[in-house]
Structure 1
């Protein structure tokens, strides 16, 4: 059995001591914080390489924005679309560099860049459906992760190379999808292995939280209210912790059984799509560092890309990898 390890979390304070007092951003990358000059200097040897990369990628994007603005101002129409399209690669390159840094600021910035790409094009070759859902989950924005995935599979793809999608993502963000609905809706629609893996994790986060709520309800009469509130404050999924109706429900058994079925369905779908993935989640080895230049459906390289895009979200979800271990061994318990 996998030995439980402390669950890592995104750094929100000083990158050395994690203090949250008197923080300042690194003047270079602007996604790492320090409590003072001493810790900034201490961290510099390990931070220097990625900091320089982010600075370089930022400069490229800034220059591209200037050229795009000029192009749009003097072109308009088709020229404006072409000009905006030239931002796609610099946005992706900078986002990928920032996402090598495990701070909340870096993940938020990387996600914003990817969503800007989404506003420009809904072309699945550009990266957002692979990267965005897991980033929402890393930031604890589970409802938004599901809303994005639901929008992606329901919004028609652009017509032709430059055509916009029928419903731009920016216009759909106020629409809240039902995170508890059956995953059968996604059959045959998931654009990538990473997408399916993120959907599995989202459903698993919901399941883990409802199991915790069920256990807290069982002991509710024997412990003070403040202890129950403390238990509930540590729920993983914001889609559960922010749902008053779910939190106050006495019996979660029906939803637990439904979510268990959904998790099993997604687990099987991922397994069928790429048999390398779940074993790699349990024993990643060097796969999280691989960056294959090409891949085919179901091969090891596809697994490596999906693992690279989603593994940190799995690590940062308490109990998630242990749950996959149980599924791999066929020991999932619906009644917990």
Structure 2
């Protein structure tokens, strides 16, 4: 994985960068050392971040144990008097990892603790000079939270997408984006809400409550029924589908409402255009190699060179690496048009974004500044904070946008 994310440090000693005979810091479990001598040498630099991560990790463990210790027949915490006949669903939902909503305080506190763990890990060991394992761990926490509560966590989804892109896992990032671009604005009541509604339906009619863990009858019409694609019997069928979507597809194939540039959040757009820019850079590198080396090397050696030049997006498309120069030129023109459309959409949505990203991303991407900024600057700096490291770690990405920006500024206005 380290080769896919060269800006992230693979496991190694914090002092000498040794790769073998390592052990985790026993408190934060976020960094490695090769011996006690180097652990002590790094103590002054490491102490503050280690203490924060250790404290957050202990809090997460406490919330986890409290969830596990809950009785199977406790009352729904947000109800005043009447016990909830489906209160035991909390435990079942927690154990299966799906169907959890903010209605349950215990689960809410637990998921908040996981999100706090993500923030603490990234702020101390994930952003500046980030560690690969820390970013992967943060991504794992985010995916677990989204699996348990799939709607309403917009910031969590944005950060998840940006970590996929930062790890150079572009296919997974695009699949994730395509799912959320399709479903984010759809009303999505949870399974628990439907089950509680059915319990109320049974109580009101004097009917026996169904056995614990069972689903309401198929003909029961719950609140906003039909707005959500997932139910208990096929809980994994549609989540994060489709898989292996075409990263080079037209923008209207990603989102049927693409004509509205405000449809996607700014952070989504920033991640999406970076995926497209990576594809463009890979195609351009292959095209230059084809023209420079045409007829000079064996096909096998040329294929190896193309695979090295293709980048993490185009390497998923073997046919693009053996295409003719004319076909590659067509692909370049197509992707370049998509990049231009995305650039224009971002500029129309938030003019602050490109100005800050291209000129002072590190200065802008600080939480203290963001929280006191006006609306457009707040949105821009949040998106920059999540995406600027991946942008600057992609060779040629920023230069491509700067060239596009110069051309767009010089173009005559209609």
TM-score by length of 1: 0.85
| Equivalent in the alignment of 1:196 | 269
1:328 aligns with 2:405: yes
Cα shift at 1:106 = 0.5
| Equivalent in the alignment of 1:94 | 117
Residue 70 to residue 42, structure 1, CA distance change in 2 (3 Å):
same
| Equivalent in the alignment of 1:61 | 60
Residue 289 to residue 104, structure 1, CA distance change in 2 (3 Å):
same
1:77 aligns with 2:89: yes
CA distance in 2, matches of 1:161, 1:279: 44
Aligned partners of 1:119 and 1:169 also within 8 Å:
no
Alignment of 1:122-201 (within 5 A): 122-125=150-153, 127-155=155-183, 156-159=186-189, 166-167=229-230, 171-172=239-240, 175-184=243-252, 185-186=254-255, 187=258, 188=260, 190-201=263-274
Deviation track 1:10-51 (CA, whole Å, cap 9, x = no partner) reads 000323443323232222222222333343333332222122
* Count of residues in correspondence between the two structures: 324
Cα shift at 1:259 = 0.7
| Equivalent in the alignment of 1:229 | 304
Instruction: State the SS of the aligned residue for 2:394.
Output: coil
Residue 161 to residue 229, structure 1, CA distance change in 2 (3 Å):
same
Give the number of the structure with larger relative contact order, counting CA–CA contacts within 8 Å between residues 6 or more apart: 1
CA distance in 1, matches of 2:396, 2:71: 49
Aligned partners of 2:353 and 2:380 also within 8 Å:
yes
Aligned partners of 1:133 and 1:145 also within 8 Å:
yes
CA distance in 2, matches of 1:23, 1:91: 27
Instruction: State the SS of the aligned residue for 1:242.
Output: coil
CA distance in 2, matches of 1:257, 1:29: 48
TM-score by length of 2: 0.70
| Equivalent in the alignment of 2:96 | none
Gaps of 5+ in 1: 1-6
Aligned partners of 2:171 and 2:247 also within 8 Å:
yes
- Provide the aligned C-alpha RMSD in A: 2.9
CA distance in 1, matches of 2:17, 2:371: 36
Cα shift at 1:303 = 1.2
* Range with greater deviation from structure 2 (110-119 or 277-286): 277-286
CA distance in 2, matches of 1:234, 1:23: 33
